Amino acid sequence: MWGRRNLDLDAWATALGVSNDTDGIAAVRRLDSELEAIITDLARLKNKLPESVRSGTYADAARDFVGTAAESLHESRDCLKTISEAFGRHERGES
């Protein structure tokens, strides 16, 4: 999806406050769970917004923006999965 990128797992480990790959995986999973909860909240919010009969309304725009935010968070979860898998392959220290 994003092509080969530098994962910089050492920077991830530092940011997550972990010193080994197992703890890195656990920390990334916690982040993923938080994102999943936010996505669920966004879906709930979007369902509370009115569906307009006419196009081009503020309701439509609000629903679209909430949907776009949720899509971006899904992509963030994909990135976290890649990071977690890299921790699982013990790629720290590699570029």
- Cα→Cα distances 35→60, 66, 77, 79, 82, Å: 24, 14, 7, 12, 15
- DSSP3 helix / strand / coil % (the chain, rounded to 5): 70, 0, 30
In a domain, 32, yes or no: yes
Lookup result for tokens 């590699």:
94
C-alpha of 47 from chain center:
21
Q: What is the pLDDT along the chain (95 residues), one digit of tens a residue?
A: 445 556 788 999 999 999 999 999 999 999 999 999 999 999 999 999 988 767 778 988 999 999 999 999 999 999 999 999 999 998 776 54
Please tell me the predicted confidence (pLDDT) of residue 7. Answer: 74
Query: Is residue 60 in some structural domain?
Result: yes
- What is the residue range of 44's domain? 9-88
Global pTM value: 0.81
Asked whether residue 76 is domain-assigned, the answer is yes
**Residue 48: inside a domain:** yes
The number of folded domains in the chain is 1
Q: Within a domain: residue 59?
A: yes
Look at residue 17 and tell me if it is in a domain.
yes
Domain assignment present for residue 3? The answer is no
